[in-house]
Amino acid sequence: MHRTDETIDPLGLTNLRLIQPKKGFRFSLDPFLLCGFSGFEGAGVIYDLGCGNGVIPLLAADRSSAGRVVGIERQPQMAERARRSVALNGMNDRVVILEEDLRQIKRHCPGQEADLVLANPPFRVPGKGRISTHGERAAARHELAGGLEDFLQAARYLLKDGGRCCLIFLPERLVELLARMQACQLEPKRLRLVHHGVGEEARLVLVEGFKRGRPGLIVEPPMVLYTASKELSSEAATWYGLEDGSSSVLSPES
């Protein structure tokens, strides 16, 4: 099921397991934040753009009643790894992983069928920050093969009118994100900033847009990930997989 250069790890504090490389792109807290923010309400068909090793498709299938979850991944080795993780968790009947460049998504995906599209796009443009020498990490963090505009155009193509798109991104690019969402007819409706601790600057931003939605943005209370004692906050722990919100075993190094 997995190779010597891979590990099988618990996916957060859930019953799910994930195959990931020992050296390469390994999951972080970001997909748990995105899934917790989206909520999955009313989503019968869910797409994840740039699904990597399959974290978000697995979480979406586990936490929603969606009949179909589709992960799109351009890198062959990551798409293949995601398929094995889907099989490992017995989800082949609901989850499909497509090896596809999202810029060519019309070749194999019907338009206007998704109720919810999730995306954790690469945060940085080439030339901003150090580009990893490891191919998987580099493609996950920098816009080397498709940028923010490509993710939004793919989401607009996939979504039904009134469907939702939820993204996690950098606050420093928030103005660009909101402007590009409006240009793609994905009207921003809900926004939440994520802070590592009380009094710290926001590190991430979560945004929800509706295809052809009416203007009107709700800015939700900020989310603080860690307490003063360096444990995950109750809400963050719940999103990570602890149903009772207990965070005693979790810290920023987890």
Encode pLDDT of 75-85 as tens digits: 999 999 999 99
Q: Residue 136: pLDDT above 90?
A: no
Where is mean pLDDT largest: 121-130, 199-208, 237-246? 199-208
- Residue 108 CB partners (closer than 8 Å, separation 6+): 98, 100
% of the chain at pLDDT higher than 90: 81
Encode pLDDT of 137-186 as tens digits: 444 443 555 699 999 999 999 999 999 999 999 999 999 999 999 999 99
Q: Residue 8: pLDDT above 80?
A: yes
Encode pLDDT of 213-234 as tens digits: 999 999 999 999 999 999 999 9
* Residue 134: predicted pLDDT: 52
Per the structure block, which two tokens stand in for 145? 């093969």
- Name the residue with higher pLDDT: 17 or 144: 17
Encode pLDDT of 43-73 as tens digits: 999 999 999 999 999 999 999 999 999 999 9
Global confidence as pTM: 0.89
Q: Which of 97, 84, 32 is nearest to 59 (CA)?
A: 32
Per the structure block, which two tokens stand in for 223? 């989310």
* Residue 25: predicted pLDDT: 87
